Structure 1
Amino acid sequence: MTEDFYDLLDVPADASQDEIKTAYREQVRVYHPDHNDDDRARAQFTAVKKAYDILGDPVERQAYDRLGHEDYVAKRTSGLPSADVWQSSDSGDETSDADEEPERATATAGAGSGASAAGESGSTSTTDSRSSTGASAGAASSASTAGSSASAGTTSSSNAAGTSGTTGTGSTGTRTAGRTTTGTTGTTGSTGTSASNADASAESEPGGFGDNAVVRWWRRQNFSLPLIWLSVVVYLSGLGHFASANQSGLEALRVELAAAGTDPDALATTLSSGRYGIDSSVTYLTAFELVAPPLEGTMWYAALAGAVGLTLLTLLGVRAYRDGDTWGPVSIDETIVVALAVTATTVLVGGPLLAGAVLMPMLFAVIVRHTRRGPGWKPSYLYVLPVLAPLVGFGVAAADAATLAVDLAALVVLPIVGGLGLPLRATIRKHFGW
């Protein structure tokens, strides 16, 4: 369980400001909605932003260290998810307006009751604030107080003379979720803008590419589960085509298996005695021709491989231009683009059977990795092993070592039974929480 903001950012309590900033950037790459579409990651991203707003500001960090995590959260950051729900909250990555109002009220009350001492204010204040005793609820502060309100029955007197990296007059307040909340009419400093705004994607800025309904809808979707289901469906459609192309041979095999009954020895003899006219997987893939190749032999396969390579280079170029980091974690959007390129090229070579055999291990591995990086469920990489079986079967058949039993195990039993494990488990967890 995450214990405090230092633990959340994965830095020691004595970390430098540069170390905190670096850790924050790494967390953003993991949990930002542009890179992680898991619903739970949005809550984590909100908490990470708020942690950096506090620890990234030396003045607020000093107050946080002095008060301790629990007292600081209770007094200064109303509405922040508590430490025990950071890893599982389903809230969005932005605080709603309704939640922000209590934060503003808390910040104002904290300023008026004298909770902020020298160095705790979010901006420079040169005004002596003296709050008189209120005999009833809503008693106002003295005329010399700028923007501080006294609560019912409270008496406080403090000279708020703090300094920070910003300038302004008569302003007191608390930073919340990347904003400076002020209870005065004075000028606020530039630290009111969270550094996380600079790290967020430029496409999300108002008026930018991301500021339209279609892009916002797309980013709210979680395509992980549909992608793995799609890869399974593509493979099953390939098996269906393989069965239709070998219908007579499969009928002969069915008759022989029916004659063998339930005797294990008889069944084993039937499966090992011949192929009954059923093509091997490599023979089927070689004979498949969706369209007539416009190029001859090796040139055609090289062109298809080049198309996939060009797609990868384009994605790397976009990364370098947008993020300046070409080797970061693969996003779901990038996975979708690569999957489309791989599907188009492999279908032209060997039909949906080859496309599914390539897509399943690729998508399973990427999405398992993608899910494990986020909060919550950590699926095992063992889910990937069964869907590798068709590729292994193709290799065995290419070496002319495949029997009918090997083909059935590698192309039918393992990929179907094992391949359904991950999407079924994810679907059950999504709808029932098991």
Structure 2
Amino acid sequence: MSTSSASSQKSYLIPTIIIGVLFFVFGFITWINSTLIPYLQTACELTAAQAILVTFASYIAYVVMAIPSSWVLKFTGFKNGMILGLAIMAIGALVFIPASHSRTFGVFLTGLFVMGIGMALLQTAVNPYITILGPIDSAAKRISVMGICNKGAGAIAPLIMGAVLLNGLEAYAPEKLRSLTVTAKNQLLDQLAGKIITPYIIIAVAFILLAIAIYFSSLPDIKNEEQTNPDHVSKDRKSIFKYPYLWLGVLTIFLYVGVEVMAGDTIQLYGYKGLHIPIEIVKHYTTFTMLGMLAGYLLGIVLIPKYISQAKALKFAAILGIILSFGVIYAPGSYSILCLALLGFANAPMWPAIWPLTIDGLGKYLKLGSAFLIMGIGGGAILPWVWAKLGETSIGFQNAFWLLVPCYAFILFFATIGNKVGKTTGKTINGTGKATTR
């Protein structure tokens, strides 16, 4: 290895570690929601459709903030944008203090929405950053590491937060609360709501410390795609609307995030309310989904792109998603849960493939295109809520998972045809088979 090559790799090491920590943060905060749903349903006395608004508040922030995030980044740059995003997330975490004291679900949702705004800003900066940071031919390794950081945090978060928030939740079951006086019931639920204060103070402090670390770090700023990858060929078109594959990719991201959240965040609610499995058991289910995703990422490190391209991996993953969806719908009890958790494995290659196939060749529209993709994360707000509303009807929660099938079918369409619609040929990110991750 030449001295210049070794020096170059070293210069990318620290930024990659910093971005890896941010992806860990994304994963931890994102998959806390699976624990918050049953916790807040009990503490705030909610229906399933109301409780699922936890995911709605978190993910709808991406729709609201994605485009403004691209404008903010034009002024702040990537590095300062990350610091600002972390500061906003810290404020959102602190909103949980008054939310807990008042036990008002709307205030909890406000805190989640504010944190989501910070996450949207961070995501808009970090996703293209890790794709174009460093040599493009080594992007796959960086991306796989990001996925492991993200889903590793997703596996840990429900275990930690479940132990803090869900232990003893059976004592707050509606049938037990009905036997108490109003005063006694409120005192008991206030005690339950108070459990959340300390964890979110710790989370807020962690955000602030990470922002300070980034401020004093050597993380380089990246102005545009061409600056980092001069060999990337793209002929800018007159409008971003002249890239049809971009808009198909945005819809694909919308559907993918929706099914990912359904596999990870609704699995506890489905087990507890749909299949009547004790909370002490279901609180671990999201971890199983995340472990499936981790296995998918590790397999991707071995197979992609040496043995299989990202596009083919996306195709096979979509087919597996359809098959497992039928398992969720038709399999009995715990087998249905198993199929839902295994969707984590099927979902693992999807974001890493959809993202580069979509931003490929956008040139000067890279930041704006990335913002639209981040907006697509709003699928995590809409689809789980639709599932919960359907589940509360006569069809039941299990049959409501029919929602998964058309979503995976469209992802399969994008993998085979959609990503090529209106795309020019040339030396592009797509040709390398590289990607990014959420």
Q: Which has the higher helix share?
A: 2
TM tier, shorter chain?
under 0.3
Q: Provide the TM-score with structure 1 as the length reference.
A: 0.22
Q: Specify the structure having the higher radius of gyration (Cα).
A: 1
